[in-house]
Amino acid sequence: MEIKNAQPYRTELIGLLNGAGLPFDDLPKTLDNFIVAIVDGRVAGAAGIETYGDSGLLRSVVVEPALQGKGIAGQLLNTIEEMAAGEGIKQLILLTETAQDYFEKKGFHRISRDEVPEAVKISTEFSHVCPVSAIVLFKPLTTHIMKNILVLCTGNSCRSQMAEGYLRHFAGDKAAIYSAGVKTHGVNPKAIQVMAEDHIDISKHTSNHVDEYQHIPFDMVITVCDNANEACPFFPGNVQRFHQNFPDPPKATGTPDEIMNEFRRVRDMIKVYAANFVQQHLE
């Protein structure tokens, strides 16, 4: 999937909006703040903002029905929010009749029409196009958009769990960190133990299958074993892929102390990788 400016695709955008029953007659002549998602050479989704001072009116968020549920809307929304924040917009306003639940999961909350900035109230969409029954949603924008990062390994038992713990520690509020496996083997107790030795608590982590996260628009996917890299599923959107193969501590042999030392050795390797990753890609 590619995200592009909507201006060259005006006709396709109108067709998409018309098919979804969304207004299009009042689209601006110049679609500078509108974007489209291109999938297999065609316009599969769109979103845009109209700017009113430091407020942005979010509109025309639409995805082709056959491609809904594949993260396209989330990627469009993330891109729009980045655009808006870059232009100094401090909050987004949205009118919707059918998608309240979706946008509330994306950080929007309901407000009354009286709370809407005056400049937005007089917009064509707010004052004439959308019915008074439409729900008004609001989202404040921060100076940066939190990245969604997935760490993937075979069983989501050890290496990816350690990486999730360290990435959360080093990234702070710069990213939301998830881990998953192409299978689920449960969180390894020895991994929990050696992480606790370094004051990182992963005891409440769960072992999750990658399919559980299909609804999340990931910005980055890190595979931490060769098997996961080979079996890594397709992620829609402009997802950055990273790979670093780490030894698998549960395969270590020897005395109990030798096995635990192998867990510690791999833990320390992952810690260095996570610290460097955050410094290079999130700061």
- Residues with a catalytic annotation lie at 153, 225, 232
Q: Could you tell me which residues come within 8 angstroms of residue 224 by beta carbon, excluding any fewer than 6 positions away?
A: 151, 152, 153, 159, 160, 163, 243, 244, 245, 246, 270
Radius of gyration of the chain (CA): 22
Tracing tokens 């007659």 back to the chain, one arrives at 25
Q: Could you tell me which residues come within 8 angstroms of residue 7 by beta carbon, excluding any fewer than 6 positions away?
A: 30, 31, 32, 34
Q: Could you tell me which residues come within 8 angstroms of residue 36 by beta carbon, excluding any fewer than 6 positions away?
A: 3, 4, 5, 6, 9, 12, 13, 43, 44, 45, 46
DSSP string, 72-118: HHHHHHHHHHHHHHHTT--EEEEEESS-HHHHHHTT-EEE-GGGS-H
Instruction: Write the CA distances from 247 to 94, 170, 189, 196, 271, integer angstroms.
Output: 48, 22, 17, 20, 14
CA-CA distance, 28 to 17, in Å (whole number)? 14
Neighbour tally for 57: CB within 10 Å: 23
- CB contact at 8 A, 48 and 31: yes
Residue 225 CA, distance from chain mean position: 23
